[in-house]
A and B are shown apart, each in its own frame.
Chain A
Amino acid sequence: MGQQVAVDIGGTFTDVCVADGKGNLQVAKVPTSDGVTESVLRGLDEAGVVLKDAEFFAHGTTVATNALINRDFPRAALITTRGFRDVLEVGSGTKSDLWDAYADVAPPYIARRDRLVVGERIDGIGRVITPLDLHDAEVVIETMRRREIETVAICFVNSYVNPIHEREMERLVREALPGVVVSVSSLVLPEIQEHERFSTTVVNALLSPLIKRYTAGLESELVQAGYRGQLQLLHGGGGLMTPRAAERYAGRLASSGVAAGAIASRHIALSCGFENSIGLDIGGTSADISIVADGQSRIVRNWHVDYGHPICFPSLEVLTIGSGGGSLAWVDDGGALRVGPRSAGAVPGPACYGLGGASATTTDAQLVLGRLSTSLAGGRRILDPELAEAAVADVAADLACSIEDAAVGILRVASANMADALRIMSVRRGHDPRDFALVAFGGAGPLHAVELARELGIPEIVIPPHPGTTSALGCLLVDTRHDFAAMFLRDIDAADPYEIESKFLEIESSARESLLDDHVEPERMSLQRFVEVRYRGQYRTLPVAVGSPVRTLDGLVTSFHAQHRSEFGFSQLEAEVEIYQLSVAAFGVTEKPPLTPDSWGSPPLRATTHRRVRSNDGDAWLETPVFDREHLFPGAELTGPALVSQSDSTTLLPAGSSAVVDDMMNLRVSPCEKAARR
């Protein structure tokens, strides 16, 4: 097996992870520059990869997310049913900030002037009420031509039940304007609820030309550099797709960036034997939290970059909170210490970076307490403790306490915010965090891990070997994946299992086609069926996995009652149950790199240096040994207080905690005192 290459391009850094096929991983981290391909190639160079030896190249990217954040799009239009021009703008009419009358929902991605209407109407059960007005269609096409529209979303009311008018409009546009990229709502997301479907289709339309250009550029440069295989892109649903599929479903790349970390976290936990795990990825501005229960990641079907503009492709559930190394600390006018969500960002960054930031951040607090080295990223970032102290001193003055106490306070509040977020992700799902392992990564995750685990009662922590580049690893660990769904609204008593079976067969046949398009051979295809079910009258559904073929629905109902009870604490056995939707997850199983256990046997451990570190609990400064992660081999045991330093991260082991290096080079941390393992 040749080299497998994964690249994760973030806003600040590009991470490269290479599996050499013999069980070894190599990583590199380089700053992301303007030319994205350039960063990729530089990262590969640093990792010592020669592309002609690579047989697999997978890629997670924030290109789509950044385009949505910066609203950097080609000129786009929406064609919609007359009378419904503002579905996109009005949405649900709600705001995310309920009380600030000056904080508005972001404007729609397509301004009203470019939302064009045609006469047509289909009713809620699929009957044509008004045929498509061909004259209107002509006028709209003319307007698009004059305005040099590059990409268009076609979104008609009730097209999820009857797409005939949308498809006719699509044909007319393609004939008249062959250069225009077309996204059709009944193909992109054939689901009820006009705002969600329109909004998702519009996002897809906006991103399609960008992704097409981006992947074409990357592919040709990879070919020039000698790569002969297929480029694979990671989508937000936690699977791969080819550039060809990505062009049609460009919107699925919008959450590509956060998905990689969640996938890596799940894989690492599973390889350590944990079916239940919480992933915690703490970077400069935010903490991304994901959860895996019984080996399965949770999928959400409604998320957004800007509130009010939902993207409803299935996506791995990741909760992002504004709490990272750059989160700002201040004392509000009620005298309370607050940390985040405001952030110093990458520029000016924490005060200790010396780039002009004067306000205290969590990184400054860590430095004041001796937990960070003054030299990070292999000497590429020098931290100034005096600047950190000055910044934290301002907070201390407001709190009328010592600088160290203020620093401890900042970290306690930051940890509490993260603990609340972890609790929301676990407890609200009916999961007890004490049954979970914590996988902590990102630059700052391993600094907070023990305290968070103690707060939540989590018994075990896994710190992967390269915490700062763990996300890139995620791209190597996934299968090709496509998700399909079809509306199927029926009372369960009125539902015919044979009809369900034939509908599933229909969905699966499109699923197989898509996999074939992505060059997946039939023997590597794997399809999973789900029925979305609810109590009649309820508004949200639960996905219940079903086998194939469907011959009876008894098992479905029983599973639904049980699932409802376990998630929400009650079930209503006598209530009527309703089917909402059928969905299929289609996988093309890829070959995963073997991560061979390393041999055991650690040389005697020696701390590279010692630092005085202040703990959060007592007020003692403890003389703390600092170990170099590169010197730790399987079997190495550490007892807190200790620090483990590496170029991309620092791990804090407070007194009372202990750690051992496992055979996959993970640091396995026990947050509380207990019998040592092995």
Chain B
Amino acid sequence: MTTAKPVALTSSEPAAVLDAITSEVLRNAFVTAVDLMAEQLLRTSYSFVIHARDFSGALSDAEGATVAQGSQDVAVQVGTLHFSARAVLESFPGDIFEGDVFVLNDPYVGGTHFNDVRVLRPIFVDGELLAIAQSNGHWADVGGAAPGSFDTAAVEHFGEGLRITPVRVWSRGRYLADVARLIAANTRAPSDAEGDLLAQAEATRVCEREVLRLIAKYGRDAVLAAFEESQAYVERIVRRRVGDLPDGYWEAQDFIDSDPRTGDELVPIRVGMRITGDTIHYDLSGSHPAVGNFLNSAFGGTFSAVVAGTKTFFPDVPLNSGFYRALVVDFGPEGTVVNASWPTAVTGFYAGPYEKIVNAIFQIWSEIIPERAISTSFNLEYLLVGGRDVRRGRSGQFMYYDWMAGGWGGRNGKDGSNATASIFGVGHAIQSIEMQERSSPILTGRCELRTDSAGPGEFRGGLGQVKEVSLTDCEGAVLSYCSDRARSVITGTRGGLPSCPHGLSINPLSPDGRYLGALASRLPVEPGDSLERPSAGGGGFGEPLNRKPEAVRLDVVDGYVSIDRARKDYGVVIVPDSDDPDLFHVDEIGTASERRRIRGERVDALRTDPEAIAEMYVNGELNELDLVRQFGVILDWGSGRLLRRTTQQFREVLLNRCASFWGQ
């Protein structure tokens, strides 16, 4: 796919059959119809992932264009529902009837990954197809080699899970139980899968009922005109705002940790953006070839990232295909990490390219609209453990599937928000530990904000978390860990500093402890094993030496920042002269001289011989925060082996995004 897509249409004026007021009434009613569908799904779903709000819904017109999305939909699925609707329309030309329901999850026709199963119900009036209701939810499992269908080592999709190309599951109102069974039987929990299928199909009926009601009240023509006007309205707002901005070209890049095929080298994702008149053109053609694991994205996931990144700078604009009309996206040649094609593995797109594209877009728009600027935010991460639960009175499989909240980037005039759901979907709730301890033989030892995890800056990033769990009464357990940014550590903006690396450690306190890094696949684990991992904080915003010493002191009082890092990162000397941190105070003179010292040394520190720094890390003289923040050195954090090429790339980023903003 090399051509721009979707096509940008010219903005149209409101159609004649509609007055402005009725049009506003209907536009809201369409969103309500989708939200009613979401509300029902939330109450009937089986997948705990859907329950955590990893789902979305849409009402499409007869061409498949999205008229309304749910107001609380997960970000990662936005901008892909129109592709699913079109895929169904194109797969069944002239063969769609009232009472039919279709299902698909195919990422290669604009989906996201196999877990996101989309259920579509065409809506008919007098035999004419007028609209489509769609409910998309993340199923807890869709088969494949690994529980939860996240095989981080997969190179091709065959091991990842069941690929469902568009298929009919209800035919003229009759449930095709054989087809549904085929789908459900290819998952690890067939009855939950069928339950979710029923729940989603029933939810689309709620949307259908609302649309039929609106047609009965306002008439077919008015509703159809409002479908178009709802999109034109959104397109008008976006184009008007973009038209008010100066034309120009911007570019930014972010990185995936590595390609297993090449090893020590960050994998660049490059985003170019041009504004001409009232249209935004994105260019991703400069990105790296597809990588040799599942951290690739097909065009659907990539388009979603472009929409989500852009939408963050238009927070009040409703989402529908009108938004997409003002965007022209060049995905570049097929076969890249952002435009992967069948059968390349793409399930990890959300941890790989997705968040990198969004953060690169954040960088670009932060320059254009500085009052909404935001530094880099943490990368989604998932831990999966599956096995047999042998606690008293229990039997059978358990599946522990855990993701964390993390820190968002510092902002212009405001610290980043602490431990918030990832940019993948800020409505995506983390789970209750008490519920997890009920359903899995896994005990959480610690789950709290991690001191010093925030990237320092005049406005620091938000804090990430640390979570430590241990396995108790289980057998035959294996784990997978899916993350990124152990090496492509989150950096700051406008002089702000990096936060901290990701990575899972097993038995970190014991002598035979191991650091597994950001990816692990189907590793056997035993009762007593302890698993610890951080979620990164957000990158800092602005010169850290300009942060008010009192703000640093309060961060120390709250344990957000340690006394040690207050001195190293902010040059603020805190005197712990009381039993109660509440009463610590700032040493003003010490702070002034410490800040002078840092100003004089910090740029040179980024040019120190990395080999020497790596050795000091291995000897325990420096820790990983010193390495990423003061020296720009990236290691394999387990062995202490220097990643020379990666360090070189990381230092370039620091010099460019941080050091160039530092005052003398």
Contact = CB atoms under 8 A, between A and B. Distances in A.
B20 A424 contact: no
B192 interface: yes
A540 B52 CA distance: 12
Nearest to A331: B20
Chain A binding surface, main DSSP class: loop
B24 A413 contact: yes
Contacts of B75: 98-99
B315 A100 contact: yes
Interface stretch (A56-64, A80-88, A380-388): A80-88
A610 interface: no
Nearest to B419: A90
A94 B428 contact: yes
Contacts of B198: 570, 572
Interface stretch (B165-173, B445-453, B591-599, B609-617): B445-453
B39 interface: yes
B418 A90 contact: yes
A538 B405 contact: no
Interface string B39-83: 110111110100101000000000000000001110100000000
Interface stretch (A229-237, A333-341, A670-678): A333-341
A90 B191 contact: no
B334 interface: no
A93 B236 contact: no
Interface stretch (B29-37, B257-265, B273-281): B29-37
A105 interface: yes
Contacts of B437: 123-124, 158
Interface residues of A, number: 71
Interface in A384-428: 399, 408-409, 412-413, 416-417, 420, 423-424, 427-428
Contacts of A567: 43
Contact of B20 (A97, A399, A427): A399
B433 to A, nearest CB: 6
Nearest to A332: B237
Contacts, number: 214
Given A129-B443, A537-B46, A427 B432 contact: no
A199 to B, nearest CB: 12
A194 B434 contact: yes
B618 interface: no
B70 to A, nearest CB: 10
A496 interface: no
Contacts of B507: none
A412 B314 CA distance: 27
A113 B558 CA distance: 5
Contact of B39 (A101, A104, A428): A428
Nearest to A411: B21
A147 B209 CA distance: 59
Nearest to A423: B32
Contacts of A338: 24
A69 interface: no
Contacts of B46: 535, 537-539
A111 B429 contact: no
Contacts of A123: 437, 443, 472
A103 B465 CA distance: 21
B195 A572 contact: yes
B374 interface: yes
Contact of B408 (A101, A111, A399): A101
Interface string B412-454: 0010011111000111111011110110000111111100000
A193 B580 contact: no
A619 to B, nearest CB: 12
Contacts of A417: 28
A86 B237 contact: no
Contact of B438 (A129, A192, A333, A568): A192
Given A83-B445, A113-B581, A572-B195, A93 B420 contact: yes
A112 interface: yes
A409 B53 CA distance: 35
Interface in B382-418: 391-392, 404-405, 408, 411, 414, 417-418
B367 interface: no
Given A90-B465, A93-B421, A334-B233, A113 B449 contact: no
Given A337-B20, A337-B21, A570 B233 contact: no
Nearest to A494: B393
B560 interface: yes
Contacts of B417: 95, 104-105
Interface string B553-568: 0000111100000000
A606 B616 CA distance: 96
A99 B312 contact: yes
B636 interface: no
B311 interface: yes
B205 interface: yes
B641 interface: no
B559 A192 contact: no
A570 B202 CA distance: 7
B471 interface: no
A84 B468 CA distance: 11
Of B36, B46, B404, chain A has the most CB atoms within 10 Å of the CB of B46
A125 interface: yes
Contact of B405 (A90, A102, A103, A424): A90
B435 A192 contact: yes
Of B21, B198, B419, chain A has the most CB atoms within 10 Å of the CB of B21
Nearest to A538: B46
A539 B191 CA distance: 15
A223 interface: no
B427 A538 contact: no
Given A90-B449, A143-B580, A333-B240, A192 B430 contact: no
A195 interface: yes
A412 B29 CA distance: 13
A94 B434 contact: no
B372 A95 contact: no
A489 interface: yes
A537 B27 CA distance: 35
Given A89-B418, A409-B20, A570-B198, A540 B427 contact: no
Contacts of A575: 191, 195
B428 A112 contact: no
Contact of B43 (A111, A336, A568): A568
B103 interface: no
A412 B237 contact: no
B607 interface: no
A510 interface: no
Contacts of A195: 432
B48 A102 contact: no
Contacts of B20: 335-337, 399, 409
Of A97, A98, A111, A157, chain B has the most CB atoms within 10 Å of the CB of A98
Interface in B1-46: 20-21, 23-25, 27-29, 32, 35-36, 39-40, 42-46
Nearest to B40: A568
Contacts of A334: 233-234, 236-237, 240, 317
B529 interface: no
20 contacts: A85-B448, A90-B419, A90-B430, A92-B430, A93-B421, A94-B421, A94-B427, A94-B429, A95-B426, A100-B316, A121-B443, A192-B432, A336-B20, A416-B24, A416-B29, A424-B32, A537-B189, A537-B191, A539-B45, A570-B202
The list of the 7 closest CB pairs from A to B, nearest first, reads A124-B437, A93-B405, A83-B446, A334-B237, A92-B429, A100-B315, A539-B51
Given A97-B315, A194-B433, A334-B317, 9 more contacts: A86-B449, A98-B425, A100-B316, A124-B434, A157-B433, A335-B233, A336-B20, A413-B21, A537-B195
Interface of B: 20-21, 23-25, 27-29, 32, 35-36, 39-40, 42-46, 48, 51, 53, 71-73, 75, 189, 191-192, 195, 198-199, 202, 205-206, 209-210, 233-234, 236-237, 240-241, 311-312, 314-317, 372, 374, 391-392, 404-405, 408, 411, 414, 417-421, 425-430, 432-435, 437-438, 443-449, 465, 468, 472, 557-560, 580-582
